[in-house]
A and B are shown apart, each in its own frame.
Chain A
Amino acid sequence: MAKVHVTTTINGEPVEFLCDPGQNMLDVLRNTLGLTGSKEGCGTGDCGACSITLDGRLTCSCLVLAAEVEGKEVGTIEGMAQGDHLHPLQQKFLEMAALQCGICTPGVLVAAKALLEKNPDPSETEVRFWLAGNLCRCTGYDKIVRAVMETAAEMRGAA
């Protein structure tokens, strides 16, 4: 099968890869590039565990063809912490135990970061709507929502 050569930027770093024309970006992230932070819960756009940003816009990497990211900026969970320095959302999720098994967590964090960049002062309803595409089978969502609200408040205070 003729491979497609893709040149892109992932978490600020230039990256090149070869993919099959029908291959999705989640598969390339995990199996070609070894970026296994993004998870596959469903592969059909329902669970949000594979969430990434594409030119800053939140999307499911399982619903993006890898060939489509040519020339784009991809953001994954691996780009969230700066070295050993966790993003405030990551820190808060640990402090408030906003995760259990952790499978949904990378997707939730990527989605929550995208929300706070767009809206630094979301209401609880806005947080719940924004994260409605991130399914969690463990936490019951409450701790997740509270951790996002608390992080937002702290980040506003620090700004």
Chain B
Amino acid sequence: MTDIRYLAPQTLDEAVGAFAAAQGAARILAGGTDLLVQMRNGVARPGTIIDIKKIAELTSIEETADGGFRIGAAVSGAVLAEHPRFGTVWPGVLEAINLIGSTQVQGRASPGGNLCHGSPAADSVPAMVAAGAVLTIQGPNGRRTLPVEQFPVGPGRNSLAPGEILVSFSLPARPKGSGDAYLRMIPRTEMDIAVVGVGVSLTLENGVCTAARVGLGAVAPTVKLVADAATALVGTKLDDAALEAAAAACRAACKPIDDKRGTIEYRIKVSGVLLKRTVAIAAERAGRA
């Protein structure tokens, strides 16, 4: 084992400086539920570990003046679940994040880690895509923002430039009559990896869908925004024809793998089924909001 350094900077500038200086030999530590496993099995051998949990912006949840939310990338699922308002405004995002692992894992695992780990089956990502989350990223050249769906570029790969750190997720304010939901299909009943995951966020006005976003996971090399599915829903009363058109758009967006969890045929079929079920839950919530 070579020398490892552990750093726990108090500020983002220090963290970015150390991360850039390490030139690829460093790993960011948030909840550690992926990193420590990778270190143990030898997949990750970081020279420096940069713990970002002492940086306030990375570990805080803020309700912004316009009614949106800003969630630090290292906030744990358990902390987010205890927020008095977040789960009532974004129940779909919260239920997706809370599907990640056991109670013990929830105590540490973060949406930022789930996104950066880069699994196409990451549960929180389709829900974040549906929610229209915008990322704040900071690096040696300053800050930038990026729509979450543009972040993953392949399994385990993302669009962070060298030295850049994911800082937070910004979720927009919710118009009246909005609801979101996330459903996944897994071979077991709990604690498993999605074979298909669907996130839906929509707004209803007098029963007519005025806005929608659909995120689709585990059926392509990255989680995807399915714009055609949203287009099929907007302007309709979510009648059977609209749901079938949106389901067809999801099936068309699939480029899945074939593995022991699910065949290509199964994943494609289930993506359409889950789309309909997820829309139904989101619409029911929108009707109450």
Contact = CB atoms under 8 A, between A and B. Distances in A.
Interface in A31-60: 43-45, 48, 51, 54, 57-60
Interface in B91-107: 101-105, 107
A60 B104 contact: yes
A21 B49 CA distance: 8
Nearest to A21: B6
A111 B103 contact: yes
B54 to A, nearest CB: 10
A133 B191 CA distance: 9
B130 interface: no
Contacts of A58: 103-104, 107
B186 to A, nearest CB: 13
A63 B37 CA distance: 7
Contact of B104 (A45, A67, A68, A70): A45
Give the size range of B's interface with the partner.
Answer: 20 to 34
A63 B191 contact: no
Contacts of B105: 45, 60, 63, 133
- B contacts with A: majority SS: loop
Interface residues of A, number: 33
B3 A57 contact: no
A16 interface: no
B190 A22 contact: no
Interface string A126-151: 00011111100000000000000000
Contacts of A44: 37, 40-41
A1 B49 CA distance: 15
B102 A132 contact: yes
B32 A132 contact: no
A24 interface: yes
B190 A48 contact: no
B164 interface: no
A74 interface: no
Given A22-B39, A45-B101, A65-B36, A2 B107 contact: no
B150 interface: no
Given A48-B102, A54-B107, A60-B104, A2 B3 contact: yes
B108 interface: yes
A63 B190 contact: no
B32 A51 contact: no
Q: What 8 A-B pairs are tightest by C-beta distance, nearest first?
A: A133-B102, A21-B6, A59-B107, A22-B4, A21-B4, A67-B6, A57-B107, A60-B104
Interface of B: 1, 3-6, 8, 29, 31-33, 36-37, 39-41, 49, 51, 53, 76, 78, 101-105, 107-108, 190-191
